[in-house]
């Protein structure tokens, strides 16, 4: 019985270690994804002209967030497209999203 408990404790220790490693990898992926999104939005080209920040902001009429998330996005953002329909929350303005407690994502700021 003692040996089983010892093995069980070792197993849980390994699982905890694996979870911590996975969390670190997810954080690195999120950082990389944010950097890539910055590049994508800074290099977005319409014809031969770069889209100015003001032009992009004028076209946006809605914002999207996840019920479980912390940030809101423009609908064209890859993060917004990955939100499950049952978790999706729509806002008509930045102000309403901010009042609901969400922070703007990089896509909203560009």
Q: Give pLDDT tens digits for 7-65.
A: 888 888 898 888 888 888 888 887 888 778 777 766 664 444 554 444 444 454 699 99
Q: Can you give the pLDDT at residue 44?
A: 60
Contacts of 60 (CB under 8 A, 6+ apart): 74, 75, 108
H helices within 1-109, ranges in order? Answer: 2-42, 53-59, 78-81, 94-99, 106-109
The confidence band for 83, taking pLDDT boundaries of 50, 70 and 90, is very high
Q: Can you give the pLDDT at residue 74?
A: 92
pTM, entire model: 0.46
> Judging by beta carbons within 10 Å of its beta carbon (0-12, 13-18, 19+), is residue 48 exposed, middle or buried?
exposed
Contacts of 37 (CB under 8 A, 6+ apart): 77, 78, 79, 106, 107
Q: How far apart are CA 36 and CA 92, in angstroms?
A: 27
Contacts of 44 (CB under 8 A, 6+ apart): 50, 51, 56
The confidence band for 70, taking pLDDT boundaries of 50, 70 and 90, is very high
Q: Can you give the pLDDT at residue 65?
A: 95
Indicate if the pLDDT at residue 93 is higher than 80.
Answer: yes
Gyration radius of the chain over CA positions: 20
């Amino acid at each position: 019985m003692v040996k089983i408990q010892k093995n069980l404790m070792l197993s849980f220790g390994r699982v905890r270690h694996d979870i911590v490693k996975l969390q670190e990898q997810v954080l690195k992926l999120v950082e990389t994804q944010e950097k890539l999104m910055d590049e994508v939005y800074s290099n977005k080209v319409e014809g031969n002209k770069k889209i100015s920040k003001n032009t992009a902001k004028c076209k946006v009429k809605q914002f999207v967030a996840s019920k479980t998330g912390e940030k809101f996005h423009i609908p064209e953002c890859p993060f917004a497209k990955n939100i499950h329909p049952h978790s999706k929350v729509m806002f008509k303005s930045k102000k309403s999203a901010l009042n609901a407690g969400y922070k703007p994502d990089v896509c909203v700021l560009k």
